[in-house]
């Protein structure tokens, strides 16, 4: 959708614990640090679980509230001025209550509509679009959050040596974190105007590229794998989809590629992202990436990129963000302009 | 929010398998049919799991697609005319892909934005509000779906005799199903105009009334209960909240209570719902309830009520729907008028 009156007026980030580098990862899991450097390219990530003790030190609600608190502070907005809250996540703390409400509780926000979108990387962009649609003269300030915590899928008790490589690799790829943005119907100095947002399901008839299961009281069915990825399909399709998203976004926004200052590319891994950036071919742009330092923390990523972008962008400068969710092949992205 | 140009132009329902009455329930679980009749008041419900064999015969994606297909057919809308899809659920088939995309896949819908809201009963109303916000001249037709499937929490393998009564009662209260509505920016004969929608988090500082957990690869923590309800808090607070929602909705819509023809009350159980209706005190209205026949199937309920209402309402007649989510005390509801 196109909106001439939605502005990012504050951003925030939250990452649990100290960064975990590949050498430390290799001390806890049967993985090879050099192999990770070369084939995943992610140098550090943050986990809600303390690998040394197995204790979970924080949840998504706390991370979301921390990132949101930072965004509100930067925007100079009090919690009771927020008109609504939207959270995007693939890994809620529980199925009910929705984590967005627990985050609101921590922030001291009450008596406003809350929405939580279930999705992977595209969820952050869905949250942004939902917030833009909800902005109105009666609801001038939206709090938008994205985050993921993979603690429930980190099985530190099982014999990790018995895990297949396809499961072990997830410990090297993924990470935990949250990011947030305050969206306003009014511009402010240093704000980012949101020019166009794209969200599109393109998976008709296509098998999922990523499946993440959950289990209830009945437990896991025999032989069911909690996290399944089709890495070949991801490697083949994501760069193509990223290109399609980029060019459609520029076309819809009416921007020439030569006028773009910043590119926020899909954040799959430290190896995949540079490959995609190269294929996208926008040589004059500054790449804004975080995945090599924070890992793939899903719905947090676009907000972490936005948080970094907000420190650099000057009035009139243009940025394009591209996100791909391989689960059921969702295209997502948005265009921004410094005001 | 208030919208003068959002119309429900088609509705649909889907319930898995044959109705399961209390006598049959008592054959599979250590529950007493007469006790259920008297204290829960729910006579039948539908389950995605065949109690006799333990096999799951359908999932949320299939139910959502069936209900949506019905709604589209009634609206005379082809799947490729749909501008976007919004699904509300507390029990997605998997965490990724979001079930809304699998439902779109079954329906043959492609290349549109899809959104999935994570919530309990209030999720259906959140989905409706999100869809209304997304409606625009470029996006004139939204497909809105709500549904829940409790199969993953139906533990038929464990010794059921050992379950505490607080867990056993869930088998009598809950059920599975989905409902759907086609939302249009244009009126049509027999349509329902949506006059006002209310969604509000009111749980600041209040402990949750209902918690539903999920588990990943790491499994369930020792002693953790999958579904926890504070029935005393629910019994005490839900009727009060229902009254507050009703009167605020009427006030915001500018309607006098005496002009209301239909009441769609909260659908907790066959015993709780009549109690709430009595306390709400709208003697001239027709109650539109489904819970005694379908059980508490969460996000499906408001759509199933809407599906029933659509068959009765005549031009100019007014209806009020009230929903309460006790998880973190969410208020929800909407007002409708026959056109």
Check: CB of residue B192 under 8 Å from CB of residue B306. yes
pLDDT confidence of residue B158: 65
Chain A residue numbers with beta carbons less than 8 Å from the beta carbon of B118 are: 92, 95, 98, 116-118
Chain B residue numbers with beta carbons less than 8 Å from the beta carbon of A162 are: none
The separation between CA B316 and the C-alpha centre of its own chain, rounded to angstroms, equals: 25
Contact at CB, B218 and A102, closer than 8 angstroms: no
Interface test with A, best of B47, B123, B183, B217 (most A CBs within 10 A): B217
SS3 B154: coil
3 state SS for A10-67: EEEEECCCCCEEHHHHHHHCCCCHHHHHHHHCCCEECCCECCCCCCECCCHHHHHHHH
Please name the residue of chain B whose CA is at the shortest distance from the CA of residue A133.
B133
Could you tell me which residues come within 8 angstroms of residue A15 by beta carbon, excluding any fewer than 6 positions away? A46, A63, A175, A176, A177, A294, A297
- Which portions of chain A are predicted below pLDDT 70? 1-4, 157-161
> What gap in Å lies between CA B255 and CA B318, rounded to an integer?
9
Contact at CB, B134 and A133, closer than 8 angstroms: yes
SS3 A226: coil
pLDDT surpasses 90 at B164: no
What are the tens digits of pLDDT across the range A258-282?
A: 999 999 999 999 999 999 999 999 9
Q: Given the structure tokens 């029990």, which residue do they identify?
A: B91
Nearest chain A CA: its distance from B117 CA (Å): 5
Contact at CB, B111 and A201, closer than 8 angstroms: yes
Contact at CB, A211 and B118, closer than 8 angstroms: no
> What gap in Å lies between CA B208 and CA B229, rounded to an integer?
8
> What gap in Å lies between CA A181 and CA A145, rounded to an integer?
6
Chain A residue numbers with beta carbons less than 8 Å from the beta carbon of B134 are: 1, 130, 133
First to last CA, chain A: 20
Contact at CB, A218 and B155, closer than 8 angstroms: yes
Q: Does the model's ipTM exceed the 0.85 cut?
A: yes
CA nearest B113: which of B96, B91, B130? B130
Task: Name the DSSP letter for residue A195.
Answer: E
User: What number is the average pLDDT over the span B158-176?
Assistant: 81
What are the tens digits of pLDDT across the range B15-67?
A: 999 999 999 999 988 889 999 999 999 999 999 999 999 899 999 999 999 99
Nearest chain A CA: its distance from B131 CA (Å): 9
> What gap in Å lies between CA A249 and CA A258, rounded to an integer?
14
Please name the residue of chain A whose CA is at the shortest distance from the CA of residue B197.
A113
What are the tens digits of pLDDT across the range B113-152?
A: 999 999 998 999 999 999 999 999 999 999 999 999 999 9
pLDDT confidence of residue A1: 47
Contact at CB, A133 and B129, closer than 8 angstroms: no
> What gap in Å lies between CA A200 and CA A241, rounded to an integer?
11
* B5, B258, B261, B278, B301 from B267: Cα distances, Å: 28, 23, 18, 14, 7
Nearest chain B CA: its distance from A28 CA (Å): 16
pLDDT confidence of residue A87: 98
Q: Which two tokens stand for residue B101?
A: 């995309």
CB atoms within 10 A of CB A204: 17
Type and span of the H or E element at A84 = strand A84-89
pLDDT confidence of residue A160: 62
pTM above 0.95, yes or no: yes
* B10, B129, B204, B280, B290 from B309: Cα distances, Å: 11, 19, 34, 19, 11
pLDDT confidence of residue B302: 98
Interface A:B, Cβ pairs < 8 A:
231
pLDDT confidence of residue A161: 63
**Is the peptide bond preceding residue B97 cis, with omega within 30 degrees of 0?**
yes
Contact at CB, A109 and B204, closer than 8 angstroms: yes
Q: Given the structure tokens 């809620």, which residue do they identify?
A: A92
pLDDT band at B161 (very low <50, low <70, confident <90, very high): low
Q: What percent of chain A has pLDDT over 90?
A: 88
pLDDT confidence of residue B187: 95
Type and span of the H or E element at A331 = strand A330-338
Chain A residue numbers with beta carbons less than 8 Å from the beta carbon of B120 are: 96-97
> What gap in Å lies between CA B101 and CA A141, rounded to an integer?
29
For residue B85, list its beta bridge partners.
B114, B143
Nearest chain B CA: its distance from A66 CA (Å): 17
pLDDT confidence of residue B156: 77
């Amino acid at each position: 959708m196109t909106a001439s009156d939605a502005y990012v007026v504050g951003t925030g980030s939250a990452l649990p614990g100290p960064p975990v580098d590949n050498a430390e990862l290799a001390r806890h899991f049967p993985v090879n640090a050099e192999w990770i450097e070369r084939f995943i390219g992610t140098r550090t990530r943050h986990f809600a679980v303390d690998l040394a003790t197995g204790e979970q030190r924080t949840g998504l609600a706390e991370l979301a509230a921390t990132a949101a608190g930072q965004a509100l502070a930067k925007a100079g907005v009090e919690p009771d001025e927020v008109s609504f809250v939207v959270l995007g996540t693939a890994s809620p703390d529980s199925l009910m209550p929705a984590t967005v409400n627990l985050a609101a509780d921590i922030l001291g926000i009450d008596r406003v509509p809350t929405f939580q979108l279930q999705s992977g990387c595209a969820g952050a962009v869905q949250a942004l679009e939902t917030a833009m649609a909800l902005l109105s003269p009666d609801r001038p300030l939206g709090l938008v959050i994205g985050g993921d915590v993979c603690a429930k899928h980190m099985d530190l008790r099982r014999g990790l040596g018995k895990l297949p490589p396809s499961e072990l690799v997830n410990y090297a790829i993924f990470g935990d974190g949250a990011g947030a943005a305050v969206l306003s119907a009014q511009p402010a100095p240093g704000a980012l105007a949101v020019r166009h947002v794209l969200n599109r399901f393109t998976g008709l008839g296509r098998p999922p590229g990523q499946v993440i299961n959950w289990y209830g009281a009945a437990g896991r069915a025999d032989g069911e794998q909690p996290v399944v990825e089709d890495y070949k399909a991801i490697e083949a399709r994501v760069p193509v989809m990223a290109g399609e998203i980029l060019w459609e976004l520029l076309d819809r926004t009416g921007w020439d590629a030569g006028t773009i200052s910043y590119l926020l590319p899909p954040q799959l891994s430290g190896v995949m992202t540079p490959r995609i950036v190269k294929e996208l071919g926008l040589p004059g742009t500054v790449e804004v990436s975080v995945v090599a330092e924070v890992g793939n923390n899903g719905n947090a990523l676009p907000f972490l990129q936005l948080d970094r972008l907000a420190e650099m962008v000057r009035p009139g400068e243009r940025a394009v963000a591209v996100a791909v969710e391989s689960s059921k092949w969702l295209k997502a992205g948005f265009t921004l302009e410094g005001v």
